Amino acid sequence: MAFKGTLVIDTEKCKGCSVCITGCPNGVIALAKKVNSKGYNYLEMVKPDDCIGCANCAVICPDGVIEVYRAKV
């Protein structure tokens, strides 16, 4: 059974530490070139079709700014 995932990222609270990027098995996330109101490059999905909803990024995020949703495909 395959899963399709999507992320909801609180870009204003993201500090761009990039810890979550190392936890993503499919390379779905990266730091944006844009910055938030605090001047941090925030997290964004760069390959949304590859997200399997494993939630590794959310679990490893020290600030809890990532919510993961997944659905059966």
Domains and CATH numbers, the chain: 3-72 (3.30.70.20)
The yes-or-no verdict on residue 13 having pLDDT over 90 is yes
The yes-or-no verdict on residue 35 having pLDDT over 90 is yes
pLDDT at res. 2: 85
pTM: 0.90
Task: State the burial class of residue 66 (Cβ atoms within 10 Å of its Cβ: 0-12, 13-18, 19+).
Answer: buried
The yes-or-no verdict on residue 41 having pLDDT over 90 is yes
